A = this chain, B = another copy of it.
């Protein structure tokens, strides 16, 4: 069996895309706060005081990953975990002032970075790319919702 051309394999391309993104992120956005961490901060700005389960659905990460991630952000003082008095299973997540400040700073930087990242495509292509990735990801998540 001959070798296959990986440039026609969406999984391989997805990995390369994410890898390229991570590299650009650390140089243009932040060395301390990663892209998934920003996603968590952003979700907490949008919906304050949610629990980890709800958060994990919002950012599309599983509960174990969220637990690690939130613990790291907690250690850096960007958020607090408070046991829900109404429901003792839940950790209610509260963004600290510092967490909100970090989010504010990164919002502008990510916007700048996204421009650079997508610069090789014209505006129509950029819109197409985002829409097509979204459709494939949505459909796949549907399968194992």
Per-position 1/0 for A1-31, Cβ under 8 A of B: 1111011111111111111111111000000
One of B15, B19, B45, B46 near A35 (C-beta < 8 A): B15
Complex alpha-carbon distance, A46 and B100, angstroms: 50
**Among B7, B104, B130, B139, which residue has its beta carbon within 8 angstroms of that of A1?**
B104
Chain B residues contacting A82 (CB-CB under 8 Å) are none
Number of A residues, CB within 8 Å of B: 61
Mark contacts of A109-131 with chain B using CB atoms, 8 A cut-off: 1 yes-contact digit, 0 otherwise.
01100100111110001001110
- Which A positions have Cβ atoms within 8 angstroms of B? 1-4, 6-25, 35-36, 39, 42-43, 45-46, 59-60, 100, 103-104, 107, 110-111, 114, 117-121, 125, 128-130, 132-141, 143-144
